[in-house]
Chains A and B, each alone.
Chain A
Amino acid sequence: MDTCFRRICLIALLALPAMLVAAESAPLSDRVVAYQIEGRYDAKTHTLDATELLTYTNKTGVMLDKFPFHLYLNAFQPKSTWMTESHRAGQRDTSTDGKWEDKHFGSNEVKSLEVVGQGDLTKQIKFISPDDGNRDDRTVFEVPLAKPLAPGESVQFKIHFVAKFPEVVARTGYKRDFLMAGQWFPKVGVFWHGAWNCHQFHASTEFFADFGTFDVKLTLPKGWNVGATGLPTGQKDNGNGTETLSFHAEDVHDFAWTADPTTKVVEDSITLRGHTVKIRMLMQPGHMDSAPRYMSALKGTMRKFDEWIGEYPYPQITVVDPPHGGGGAGGMEYPTLITADTSWWMPKALLEPELVTEHEFGHQYWYGMVATNEFENAWMDEGINSYSEAKVMDALYGKTTSTLNSRLATLGERGSYMLEYSGSADRDPLSRPAWLFIDNRSYAGITYGKTALSLLTLESIVGEQQVLHGLHVYFERYKFQHPKPEEFTATMNEAIGQNLDWYWQQAIYGTQVLDDRILRADSQRLDWWEKKDEKKGTTIYHTEVWVHRRGTFDLPVTLEAKFDDGSKLRETWDGRDRWNKFTWDRKAKLVGAEIDPDHGHVLDRNPFNNSFVVKSDGRATGKLAGYWTLLLQWAEQALSWLA
């Protein structure tokens, strides 16, 4: 027995390295898709002629008799749903100038589609528009299989396509020689919860795709700097002024790449938990002063995510700095590749480069690994990522100075999100599909702002560490999966150890607005009929503070009252009625009262009515009115230039 045990130990010891290697190369995701794409880029016409071999493995458990594909670049055509929505109401980031120009045109043209073993099905391609019935929208097509795909089986699609890039818009396209190639190849939809999920491209939506592997070969003008999802695996000089670069990426659900002859490459690395990640930045020559800012923000963010959320498992992260005029490509996330945003002479006081870098890296977790459906549940990536952004930026740059930090003025993440949110607080619930929001302002304010503020407010109810722990558990449980909102809330409830459905119901599924206020507060002599003078420390005062739930969001309220003898009292109210009266009979007069004295209810739309101080303080009014007076004086002088 002893000998046998020793043998087992010896075998185990010998096998350990092999087991470790096997564990390292084990797939992190379910790898439903495997794309092999070869393309040749024509820099003059901004087109890519490519062939795609997609191997799809049916892990759905049901027979699949048809496959939908996204052709996102077809959104950049006059009658598409994306363009129509953009023209009428603006895009998710900017308003449109309303003019159609040829440079806005983009397309993804399928020249041929063959299913291996089933022949050429090009003529079977049918454009569909499941969201709005727009027959002119060509961003989704469907192809039926001659022979349905059984569970566990694989099918291969050979697609010859030509991608024509528009001038940079919606995070893809060219600007002069710069190219940001995003959403550039025919991408299969996701079979999710018993049905295909393949939405049209809308002005306010992002993306959704299955995990898998990518092997991409790109032929480009020689000498261009190229960045891409995954890792470079080869480089071949074609001898005709072009070269072919190869890349491999695994356990990702998208592949983006960028090319530019003028960028400068800045490289560094960071080691976290013994795992070294290479950092590669492709900088515009005019933006080199932002490079250290990007790098510092990126490393700080990676450390914080590693500490709070989980491990970044990929070997590389690439940061792309778009050129002047190409800002439409900035501020975007792709797996292991993000685009940042800066400008010439970016003031240090404005933390735009840091903020964008942080936000986009955060998407490696909330989108890249926890790959939620960005069409239907945009808050689960943008919103949760906005909360993470607030936490990281607060930690790195200060709670009140993480967005703007100058002598003149300051702005923190919380203030910034409140500005986004408060203008459209009661318009849409978080749970609404992105393209169904009333407008882009509401989409941004609710999806980014409300989610971040809701999770920050949740900290005041259950504790900061509890919320971060909940997100950590959620990440570990759902990385490389496509969770739904219910899975997020259930995981948070479980991890935090409380049933918070009452909160989620209001924050996620409702349009309730939080606005608690102090309606009235004063102290009066209890013996008001007495003619004796009041005597401090002896006279008893009856103090009343009326708290009014002006909004519709139910939240327990903590009230702090301060008295002129220096004492403070805290009391709570469950917030379930429209108002509550707090009363005290004390030998001290009320100095002031404040709801939420720890300032955790950042979802409260009006922070000014959360407190009431008995003694009026006109300094803020004086200051702002003084500025307004000055503006009026200058306006008067400006007009008098005519006299």
Chain B
Amino acid sequence: MSGSVRSSAGLVWRHQRILWWIFLVNLALAYLGSLPARAVLHSVLDHSLESAKLVTGFDVGAFGALLMQPEVNFDIMAPSLLFSAVVFFFYLLLLDGGIYSVYLEDRKLSRGEFFLSAGLYFWRMFRLALYSLPFFAIAIGVNGGIAVLSGKLSTEAPREALGFWVGIGGRVLFLLMALFVRAWFDLAQARVVFDNERKVLRTVGRSWLLLLRSGGLYLRYLGIALTSMAVFAVGIALWVYVPHHDTIGSFVVLEVVTVFLLATRLWMKATSARWVSLLPLEFVAVSVTEVIEPVAPEAPAETIAEPPTAEGAEPSPQE
């Protein structure tokens, strides 16, 4: 399994142009979104001695006093947050087709090829995102339900810590569920591109069965998510030790963490792509027993099972 995860990481590494482009747009959108705040802060802080409390340290009282000023208007700032988040979401949705094409073929696509793929699969990716919503909503609902239960147990259970631990368990369960839904729909996205499948809903169903029958992909996602959390924690721990006045150093450390977060997300997509590309025989089996579809021709399957750029022996997807 670790070999497969490593080869997926290799995909992200070899095609890191994708990562940097996504990061640049992520940063650019956020920067644009921060301009209204920047203008407001500039007018209040740049000529004030009080601002030193926010440079040489982070005085919560000074920050609070800043937020209380009428000039610091959240009405200006909030829409920028929503706007940049929505634009970035559609941007990634648009790129998804191209990203999977690159990862499935493991070669550098020309700009034309990349955006052709992106455009070709955009609508299907959009539908997949829509279909994933109810499942994410279920995960959020379960999380909310457990939070309510946790609160109730905190006040009513004979053991005072029970509610707390149920709350922690609920959050872990939520993360596991959200990760499962993501793995499921990433798999569906990869298969849509791999098969040029137009019947998106059917792909969603098949991916569900496939993910359930073999937990390998989910375990890989879990490993990547844990790695992501660990690196995030280390990054934040490092950031805490950057001197307060070192604004640039602080920014750089946090941006490195941000790049890594994006990279792990792409790592998951690459893992799905790799998984699908190594899975034709299993896919056939699922099709025959569950979906009763014609058996796919073997030749393409073999071709895909041994991609020209594969690094050494790939582990079986069933491991």
Residues of A within 8 A of B (CB): 167, 175-176, 286, 323-325, 344, 400, 404, 407-412, 414-416, 418-419, 422-423, 592, 594, 605-614, 616-626, 628-643
- Determine the residue in chain A with the shortest Cβ distance to B25: A636
Selected from B61, B136, B261, the residue in CB contact (under 8 A) with A642 is B136
Cβ contacts under 8 Å, B80 to chain A: 632
Complex Cα spacing A400 to B57, Å: 11
The answer to whether A608 and B48 have CB atoms under 8 Å apart is yes
How many inter-chain residue pairs (CB < 8 Å) link A and B? 203
Q: Judging by beta carbons under 8 Å apart, are B50 and A608 in contact?
A: yes
Show 13 A/B contacts (Cβ-Cβ < 8 Å), sorted by A.
Answer: A325-B160, A410-B57, A411-B61, A415-B62, A605-B65, A612-B47, A625-B38, A632-B33, A633-B30, A636-B29, A636-B84, A642-B129, A643-B89
Q: Are B247 and A622 in contact (CB under 8 A)?
A: yes
Contacts of B88 in A (CB 8 A): 636-637, 639-640
Residues of B within 8 A of A (CB): 26-27, 29-31, 33-34, 37-38, 41-42, 44-52, 54-55, 57-66, 68-69, 77, 80-81, 84-86, 88-89, 92-93, 96, 125, 129, 132-133, 136, 154-155, 158, 160-161, 163-164, 178, 182, 240-241, 245, 247, 250-251, 254-255, 258, 261-262, 265
Which residues on the A side are within 8 Å of B251 (C-beta)?
626, 630
Taking CB atoms, residues of chain B closer than 8 Å to A614 are 47
Chain A residues near B85 (CB-CB < 8 A): 632, 635-636, 638-640
Query: B79 CB to closest chain A CB, in angstroms?
Result: 12
CB neighbours (8 Å) of B182 from chain A are: 641
A-B interface, 9 closest residue pairs, ranked by CB to CB distance from nearest: A415-B61, A632-B30, A620-B51, A636-B88, A611-B49, A411-B60, A643-B92, A419-B64, A324-B160
Closest CB in chain B relative to A181 CB, distance in Å: 19
B65 touches A409 (CB 8 A): no
> Nearest residue in B to A609 (C-beta to C-beta)?
B48
Known: A611-B48, A620-B52. A628 touches B34 (CB 8 A): yes
Task: Report whether B65 and A619 are in contact in the complex, using a CB–CB cutoff of 8 Å.
Answer: no
Task: Check if B155 sits within 8 Å of A624, measured CB to CB.
Answer: no
Q: How far is the CA of A625 from the CA of B158 in the complex (A)?
A: 47
B61 pairs with A416, CB closer than 8 A: yes
B34 touches A419 (CB 8 A): no
Q: Which residues of A contact B245 (CB under 8 A)?
A: 619
Q: Is the CB of A415 within 8 A of B59?
A: yes
Contact of A606 among B60, B65, B154, B265 (CB under 8 A): B65
Partner of B41 from A409, A621, A630 at Cβ < 8 Å: A621
Q: Is the interface of B mostly helix, strand, loop or mixed?
A: helix
Q: Which residues of the other chain, B, contact A410 by a CB distance below 8 angstroms?
A: 57-60
Q: Which residues of A contact B155 (CB under 8 A)?
A: 167, 175, 325
Whether B241 contacts A407 by the Cβ 8 Å rule is: yes
Whether A637 and B250, one on each chain, are in contact in the complex, defined by CB atoms closer than 8 angstroms, is no
Q: Report whether A613 and B89 are in contact in the complex, using a CB–CB cutoff of 8 Å.
A: no
Residues on B with beta carbons closer than 8 Å to the beta carbon of A175: 155
Selected from A176, A400, A624, A639, the residue in CB contact (under 8 A) with B86 is A639
Q: Is the CB of B265 within 8 A of A637?
A: yes
Q: Considering residues A325, A411, A633, which has the most beta carbons from chain B within 10 angstroms of its beta carbon? A: A633
Chain B contacts for A606, CB-based, 8 A: 65, 68-69
Query: From A421, which residue of chain B is reached at the shortest CB distance?
Result: B68
The answer on a CB contact under 8 Å between A418 and B65 is yes
Residues of chain A within 8 A (CB-CB) of B92 are 640, 643
Expressed in whole angstroms, the Cα–Cα distance for A136 and B303 within the complex equals: 83
Q: Contact at B247–A619, with CB atoms within 8 Å? A: yes
Separation of A312 and B301 alpha carbons in the complex (Å): 87
- Separation in Å of the B188 CB from the closest CB of chain A? 13
Per the bound structure, the CA–CA distance linking A606 and B58 in Å amounts to 17
Nearest chain B residue, comparing its CB with the CB of A638: B85
Nearest CB in chain B: distance from A417 CB, A: 9
Q: Is the CB of B65 within 8 A of A415?
A: yes
Given contacts A592-B49, A633-B30, contact A418 B64 (CB under 8 A): yes
Rounded to whole angstroms, the CA-CA distance of A496 and B254 in the bound complex is 53
Set of chain A residues within 8 Å of B136, measured between Cβ atoms? 642
Which residue of the partner chain A has the closest CB to B242?
A: A407
Rounded to whole Å, the gap between the CB of B83 and the closest CB of chain A is 10
| Contact B65 A623, beta carbon cutoff 8 Å | no
Picked from A176, A607, A613, the residue with its CB within 8 Å of the CB of B47 is A613
Q: In the complex, what's the smallest C-beta–C-beta distance from A255 to chain B, in angstroms?
A: 28
Most chain B beta-carbon neighbours within 10 Å: one of A167, A620, A642 = A620
**CA distance in complex: A607, B93 (Å):** 46
Q: Which residues of B contact A635 (CB under 8 A)?
A: 81, 84-85
